[in-house]
Amino acid sequence: MRLADVMSHAGLAGYAEVAMILFLLAFVAIVIATYRPSNKREMDAASRLPLEDDPAGQRGEDIRS
């Protein structure tokens, strides 16, 4: 008996289908969470972070101290 015969009769095809469904559900959930209208203000603030001069958490404080 070869390994290929054992694996082909093991019935593992269902695991690939379940994994695909879980991936699609996670993908849809992430897309919905990202493009929710209530996240617009948070996303706008995050998009400006690379352009700010102050490092995060150091606003109003001296960096050298």
Give pLDDT tens digits for 8-61.
888 888 898 999 999 999 999 999 988 888 888 888 888 888 887 766 556 555
As a whole number of Å, the CA-based R_g of the chain is 24
Domain range annotation of the chain: 22-47
This prediction has a pTM of 0.56
Residue 17 and residue 10 in contact, taking contact as beta carbons nearer than 8 Å: no
Give the tokens for residue 17.
Answer: 């289908």
How far apart are the C-alpha atoms of 29 and 58, rounded to whole Å? 34
